[in-house]
A and B are shown apart, each in its own frame.
Chain A
Amino acid sequence: MKIVKKTIDKLGKWGIKWSLWPPHLVTACCGVEFGHAFGSAYDAERFGMLPMGSLRQSNVIIIEGTITLKMAKYIKYVYDQMPEPKYVLAMGACALKGGVFYGSYHMVPASNVVPVHGYISGCPPTPEGLLKAVTELQREIAAE
């Protein structure tokens, strides 16, 4: 019985790992690099990523850059509305700690808004950085 449960669990983890679908949620300029990562040069679809329109089907939020207080509300809402196995990657120096807006009254680090599973540093990070974080996230999901 335990083995069956373990196998099913492993199968689910395998599926989630190879099919991370981010919704279209772009907060700042790192969105350009995010779009680039799906283009011909870097092709994030090799890892099974597919940008989805609706967040009902997607399971990973990639926070691209600065989060203002106003935007933080919507990110929290999107995160809450997403169905359960869900992951967050914070991309760029602004999402980490503030970047060029460090100490501003209207800036929130991503980890204060939603639980973050991985950070990508850089201003903006390269698409390679994003893909590295995605593979790290895949490893983390498999090891859970």
Chain B
Amino acid sequence: MMPFELSSDLVAALVFPGVLGILGFLVVAIWAERKLVARIQWRYGPLYVSKAIGGFLQPIADLVKLVFSELVLPRHTNRALFLSTPLALFIAEALPVAFIAAAPGLIIFYNPHGLAIAVVLWLLVAVFLVGMAWSEADKFTYIGAMREILLSAAYEIPLLLSLVAMLLLYGTADPYRVVELQNVWGVLLNPLAFLAFYISLVMSTTRFPFEIPEAEPEVVLGPYTEYGSTLFILSFGGTYVKLYAGALLGSVLFLGGWQPAVDTLSGALVTIAKMAALAFPLLILRAIYPRYRIDQALRFGWSKLLALSIAAVIFSIALRFAGVI
């Protein structure tokens, strides 16, 4: 018997959807991305840093190198803002995680409308990103910020509509109730909404076909150009945190959350497996696709993707009237 027991929401905050999960995902996702892309391009990827475990220490070596590299604060910027905006961005990207349940009891902040709050907080991230780019005061970051805003104009409405379709179908935004209702997974109930959500997820995490804001041949690194050293980890690592939050939301809404499992531990493991399944294709995309132009992305977002998400909402309403759920 332990002298005191950690309550499950503290465990959630510390370990699984919380701090350790986020930082662990950063390491695993970066390693997996580099290895997968290398495999597709007939290379080995990072290897000799730790040959026995396939170069798994590579992201840690990169982290150590960035920590030991000089912190440069350019003179033309507002230094307080320059230092604090990456921190705010990282936390803003991690915030939606707090409102989504990863397993029975594993939720950081329970709220009966938790999923709706998570979605709105997810949309707020672009604001912090643009603020960061603005505080850097550089032409590349400026162009990157403009592209980020335009891209968010392309994906925001389809993303919201696809989530509205699912919440309409379940009739609730309660993070536990949504999972309990999925006797049949959401992706099978409304595949249109899943497709629209997944494409919007690719756009909002700026993965490859829509990697427009940080297009390397055009605008160096977009909004992350001026950051070196540890600030680079905070600003650029934030995109992976967004991917983590999106995968968690997607697995809860569409893949039945922790469905077959009933207790906390096995539920968490099931959720991790489903999140990995959702994030894996997004990591591979880097090697497969070329990049859209910004006007093509906007046209795509406002024509096909919008039509798809509206169809998803109509389909949900039809299902609801047919009494499927």
- Show the binding face of A for B, using Cβ within 8 Å: 11-12, 14-19, 39-40, 43, 45-48, 50, 52-54, 56-57, 59, 83-85
Contact = CB atoms under 8 A, between A and B. Distances in A.
B46 A12 contact: no
Nearest to B225: A54
Given A45-B43, A45-B46, 18 more contacts: A11-B64, A14-B61, A19-B62, A39-B43, A40-B41, A43-B45, A46-B43, A46-B46, A46-B55, A48-B55, A48-B58, A52-B221, A53-B216, A54-B228, A57-B221, A57-B227, A85-B68, A85-B70
B228 A57 contact: yes
Most chain B CB within 10 A, of A12, A18, A84, is at: A18
Contact of B46 (A16, A48, A53): A48
Interface secondary structure of B, over-half rule? loop
A19 B65 contact: yes
28 contacts: A11-B64, A12-B65, A12-B67, A14-B61, A15-B62, A15-B67, A15-B68, A16-B64, A16-B69, A18-B61, A19-B64, A40-B41, A43-B43, A43-B45, A45-B46, A46-B47, A47-B48, A48-B55, A48-B62, A54-B224, A54-B225, A56-B72, A57-B221, A57-B232, A59-B69, A83-B69, A83-B70, A83-B229
A58 B281 CA distance: 28
Contacts of B195: none
A128 B74 CA distance: 38
Interface class of chain A by DSSP:
loop
A81 to B, nearest CB: 8
